[in-house]
Amino acid sequence: MCGIVAAVGEVDVQMCREMLGRIKHRGPDDTGEIRRGNVWLGHQRLSIMDVGGGAQPLSDVDGTTYLVANGEIYNHRHIREDLGHELFETGSDSEAALHALIVDGPAGLARLRGMFALAFMTSDGEFLVARDSLGVKPLYWARRAGVTLFASELRAFDEADRPLVESFPPGCCWSPASGLVRFADAIPSHVRPARRAEEPGVWDESLLKSVRETIVSAVENRMMSDVGIGVFLSGGLDSAIVAAVAAEYAKRHGQPLPTFAVGAPGSSDLAAAKVVAEFLGTEHHEIVMTREDAIAALPKAVRAIEHYDPSLVRSAVPNMLLAEYASKRVHAVLTGEGADELFAGYSYYHEAPFTDPDALQAELVRTVGELHHLNLQRCDRTTMAYGMEARVPFLDRDVIELALSIPPEHKMTGPGVEEKKLLRDAFEGWVPEEILRRGKEQFGDGSGAKDVLEKAVQSSPEIAAADGVELRSKEEAGFYAIWRDELDGIRADRTLGLFATT
């Protein structure tokens, strides 16, 4: 949705404005700032909800409290009803976060359902920042003598401050008075498999219905927008399910549904996405990626995702091309991120030691909790590089809680049981049968980017060990060299730790 910057302490307003300017791509529609005492808030706006009246910083009617936010509060209508419509001045979903904090203080964060990073202050000096429990929306901070700085992306910080930058932990809030406090866990402690599966891979209709209805609700909640919204359609199972639900919603509301696919000429992703789009009747757009396109996008992708892990870079390159094209047509897109981590879609989940149900469950929980370092970082940065928001319905709280309460045996493969069979069975009839049973293929592979990019960096020099970074392959060394150059020669171990490879 947007980009935010905040500072508390000895505020240098000009420096804060420069920080905000470095993330203007996240919110090209408007710029807002406010200072009260020793607190400064800045906002770059991407207008999605209440385009005319939702400018930030938001304030209460008396002008005594202020908020800047990046993300979406999907239950904002329920919060309005609960707190009273008379409190609200705009149609912005972020205003629900403002009033929840005014009414309940930090406890108001528990009301919020969505993806967000926010900063809140009062005219009498109170200050609070917070990040959603999964870290879907990014937030970084740097604590230095006299001032604490916050921003949506690493690049916002001055080069001198970058060695101090850390990823702000998901599910936490911070204030000068209370310090860092956890208000929510990525995986709530009560979420665990309800029972062992007596017959792995065999389930009744009630489970399929529960999975289907929970995912449908999550997708529909993310269709809220006062501007255009579309779907990134890779041709895989997960994005096809999202597109199918979104298409039904769009039809009921008399709206078109644009879908977007990218791939090299003749790639399997383009072919599969076309099958899905024709089946659903969407307004489909294909971006054919040439070798030259991929190589030209490589440094842009590495800079955008602020990462050099090969699997992320390979998928980021086609994502960048997709986002560049789609951003000219819609302001927000839905993606299939998170389904593989919840329903055991990756091949390694089905190898030792994860052939043990308890080990598989632990690994699913771990990888969901780590998504903010990896796929979610790539998903956010590649879209926001072009001022477009990505929404991730599979990572809705209800979907996570349901998926991780399912016996892990139901996610294991075996004779006649392919990966994600439960998810496939739940959406039988919603997508074409050939897509429903299509095997898992990494986005960077299916799009055709992998081979091109591997060859593009084969001639890159190995990086000196003096950087203190362990690199696993020549390909990763090539991506790291680009990353280092694009991020202004960062060397500090503490900063490099933000980008630990998978």
Quote the CA–CA distance of 478 and 314 in Å, as a whole number.
Answer: 12
pLDDT for the residue numbered 194: 62
Total-model pTM: 0.92
Asked if 127 and 264 sit in the same domain, the reply is no
Asked if 225 and 110 sit in the same domain, the reply is no
Buried b (16+ CB within 10 A) or exposed e, 444-462: bbbbbbbebbbebbeebee
Residue 407 falls inside a structural domain? yes
Quote the CA–CA distance of 316 and 338 in Å, as a whole number.
Answer: 16
Residue 199 falls inside a structural domain? no
Closest among 337, 385, 332, 485 to 152, alpha carbons compared? 385
Considering 406, 422, 439, which residue would you say is the last residue of a domain?
439
Residue 269 identity? D
Chain-wide mean pLDDT for the chain? 90
For the stretch 164-200, pLDDT in tens is: 999 999 999 999 999 999 999 999 877 878 667 767 7
Asked if 275 and 403 sit in the same domain, the reply is yes
Question: Which residues contact residue 131 at a Cβ distance below 8 angstroms, ignoring those fewer than 6 apart?
Answer: 116, 117, 137, 139, 168, 169, 170, 171, 172, 173
Averaged pLDDT, 405-429: 93
User: What's the gap between Cα 147 and its chain centre?
Assistant: 28
Considering 417, 439, 461, which residue would you say is the last residue of a domain?
439
Closest among 155, 97, 118 to 6, alpha carbons compared? 118
Residue 458 falls inside a structural domain? no
> Exposed/middle/buried for 202, CB within 10 Å: 0-12, 13-18, 19+?
exposed
Any idea which residue has 């707190």 for tokens? Answer: 83
Considering 389, 409, 439, which residue would you say is the last residue of a domain?
439
| Contact criterion met (CB below 8 Å) for 100 and 83 | yes
More confident residue, 414 or 141: 141
Averaged pLDDT, 311-326: 94
Asked if 118 and 211 sit in the same domain, the reply is no
Asked if 158 and 277 sit in the same domain, the reply is no
pLDDT for the residue numbered 493: 36
Residue 301 falls inside a structural domain? yes
> Exposed/middle/buried for 185, CB within 10 Å: 0-12, 13-18, 19+?
middle
For the stretch 222-266, pLDDT in tens is: 998 877 899 999 989 999 999 999 999 999 999 999 999 999 888
Quote the CA–CA distance of 388 and 327 in Å, as a whole number.
Answer: 6
More confident residue, 418 or 470: 418
Phi, psi of 75 (to 5 degrees): -100, 30
Cα Rg of the chain, angstroms = 22
Asked if 225 and 126 sit in the same domain, the reply is no
DSSP structure class, residue 467: G
Residue 413 pLDDT greater than 70, yes or no: yes
Sheet holding 58-59, edge to edge: 58-59, 65-73, 114-122, 127-131, 172-175, 179-182
Domain residues for the domain of 18 are: 2-182
Q: What angle do CA 79, 82, 88 make, to 5 degrees?
A: 65
Residue 126 identity? E
Structure tokens given for 319: 């994502």
Does the annotation count 379 as an active-site position?
no
* CATH number of the CATH domain containing 218: 3.40.50.620
Residue 115 falls inside a structural domain? yes
For the stretch 396-409, pLDDT in tens is: 999 999 999 999 99
Residue 190 falls inside a structural domain? no
Element of type H or E holding 64: none
pLDDT for the residue numbered 464: 44
Question: Which residues contact residue 424 at a Cβ distance below 8 angstroms, ignoring those fewer than 6 apart?
Answer: 237, 418, 436, 437
Asked if 112 and 51 sit in the same domain, the reply is yes
Please count the structural domains in the chain: 2
Asked if 255 and 325 sit in the same domain, the reply is yes
Averaged pLDDT, 359-387: 95
Asked if 157 and 228 sit in the same domain, the reply is no
Residue 86 falls inside a structural domain? yes
Asked if 151 and 289 sit in the same domain, the reply is no
Closest among 94, 183, 89, 86 to 131, alpha carbons compared? 183
Quote the CA–CA distance of 275 and 281 in Å, as a whole number.
Answer: 10
Asked if 118 and 149 sit in the same domain, the reply is yes
- Strand, helix or coil for residue 412: coil
* CATH number of the CATH domain containing 154: 3.60.20.10
| Stated length of the chain | 502
Share of the chain above pLDDT 70, in %: 91
Question: Which residues contact residue 173 at a Cβ distance below 8 angstroms, ignoring those fewer than 6 apart?
Answer: 106, 109, 128, 129, 130, 131, 180, 181, 183
| Contact criterion met (CB below 8 Å) for 390 and 380 | yes
Structure tokens given for 478: 């090539």
CB atoms within 10 A of CB 501: 18
Share of the chain above pLDDT 90, in %: 73
For the stretch 71-128, pLDDT in tens is: 999 999 999 999 999 999 998 999 999 999 999 999 999 999 999 999 999 998 899 9
Averaged pLDDT, 312-339: 95
Quote the CA–CA distance of 489 and 5 in Å, as a whole number.
Answer: 23
Quote the CA–CA distance of 254 and 291 in Å, as a whole number.
Answer: 39
Residue 374 falls inside a structural domain? yes
Element of type H or E holding 167: strand 165-167
Asked if 228 and 176 sit in the same domain, the reply is no
